[in-house]
Every structure is written in C-alpha cells, then in structure tokens.
Amino acid sequence: MILEFLKTKDFNKREDTILIAVSFSDTGGGKLFEYLTGKPNQVQNFKLLKEYEIKNWVKKSLNAMGVEIAGDAMDFLVSNCGLDLWRLSNEIKKLADFSAQGGSPEGRKIKVIVKSQVEELIMGSREHNIFELTDALAKKNKIKALSALHKALDGGEKPTELLGLLAWQVRNILRFKLSSKLSELKLHPFVLGKIKESAEYFSAAELNVILSKIIDLDLAFKTTDLNEKTALSLLISEL
C-alpha cells in the first residue's frame, strides 16, 4: 500500500520531500526498501550501532566534555539504556552536568564517573516514574498516568527528558512484540520484565500511533515556544 502510494507520487523524483522508513529486520523491508534504495545518491541508510560502537560514542561524548567513565559504569549505563541514542544522549548530559557541578563532597569537579554514581543518577525514581506512567497508559488509567507524569515533573524532571524516556519505553515495547529473539533486545532483565508486562496491553498498531504522536511533540518542542509541561500533559491525556 505504501509502495503503491509512493510510486503514484513519483517519490524518487521529488526533491522537496524527506521520508523516514524504519525496519526491525536485518534483511531490510522487502520491496519497499528496494524501491527506496533504487537511487543510492538519494538515500542515507542509518544502521543500528553495535554495542562496542555505542560505548565508543559515549566515551567520546563524555571526553569532549572533560569527563571519563569507568568501565563497569559504562557497562551499566549501556545495559540499561540499550541501543537508544536519544536516551543515552540525555543521560550523558546529565552525567556531565553532575561532574561539572561538583558531585564530590568537596564540591570539586569529578573527572571519572563511577558505577555507583551512574546507578544513582540514571536508575531510581525516574525509572520508576516512567514504568508507572507506561503501566497506567497500558491499563487505560489516564488519572494514574497523569499523576505519575506530574510526580516526575514535580521531582525536577524536564518534559523533554520525560518525552525521551517515554519514546524509549514505547519503542522497546514495540521491539519486544516484533522480536523473535529476546536476547537481541540487549535490555537489563528488570527493564525487560517491565516491558513484557506492558506489551500484553498494546497492539503494534497502537504503539506506532503513540510513537508518531511522541515524534510530533518532540518536533514541536524543538521548533516552537509552546508550554512543554502543558503539551506533555495533553499528550498523555490523549493516549
């Protein structure tokens, strides 16, 4: 259906349109991808990074901010965030801010981030809040979902970061439903367990609709001056 639509619109001849197509298969997306990649000069293929590539990217990003990260801290960070570069980017900024603001008792800048600091900053209440939020959405309990959202906001979480976490959670639920091998998800066992619980309440179609709305709001965050807290609350109430 999508392929036929693109052909009728002469998509490959248009210079004013950008199409983003996602495939969860290693072999691509069949005839649709064959059509889209027919003119290599018009196509950019972004393959998922391997774990060692993600770790190299995290290390370089932190080094650029004057921060090092211990090996076990890196392992913990990547195992909990998975392959989600959007979320990892937010967590990297948080770790760098923690270092720059003097997270040590003496108030000195921390040069090396250790595992206990990653556990404190990355996991904890924010994880609980996002799991509580998605669990409430899965069970169609909007009052509880909004309560979880505002608890996170009142706790100091930024709307942009919460939206990123929500996108990460929804994408992982979708990957779980579409994956034949759970080991390929590369998620922490606790995270995988929570995702498995939520997956029972969503269809793949519902998850795609939610992701589309999240992407639209993320674009609005970056291109308009709307009230982020209000906009995020409205999104949750509509899901």
- The label of the residue with tokens 């923690």 reads 98
Return the amino acid letter for 204.
A
Instruction: List the pLDDT tens digit at each of the 239 positions of the chain.
Output: 677 777 776 666 666 777 777 665 655 557 777 777 776 556 777 777 888 899 999 999 999 988 999 999 998 888 777 677 877 888 898 888 888 776 544 444 567 889 888 877 775 556 667 778 888 888 889 999 999 888 888 877 889 888 988 898 898 889 888 876 776 776 767 677 888 888 888 899 999 999 999 999 999 998 999 999 999 999 999 88
Q: What is the pTM of this model?
A: 0.53
User: Could you tell me if 96 and 67 are in contact, meaning their C-beta atoms sit under 8 angstroms apart?
Assistant: yes
Query: Residue 128 has what pLDDT?
Result: 64
In the CATH hierarchy, which fold is given to the domain comprising 125-238? Answer: Zinc Finger, Delta Prime; domain 3 (1.20.272)
In this predicted structure, what is the pLDDT of residue 119?
79
pLDDT of residue 90: 82
Q: Which long-range contacts (CB under 8 A, 24 or more apart) does 156-162 make?
A: 157/126, 157/129, 158/228, 159/221, 159/228, 159/229, 159/231, 159/232, 160/90, 160/218, 160/221, 160/228, 161/90, 162/129, 162/130, 162/232
pLDDT number for residue 109: 59
Q: Report helix angle 228-238 to 142-154, nearest 10.
A: 160
Q: Structural domain boundaries of the chain?
A: 2-42, 51-122, 125-238
With 0-12 CB in 10 A as exposed, 13-18 as middle and 19+ as buried, what is 217? buried
CATH architecture designation of domain 51-122: Orthogonal Bundle (1.10)
Cα distance between the two ends of the chain = 26
| Alpha carbons 103 and 7: distance in angstroms, whole number | 56
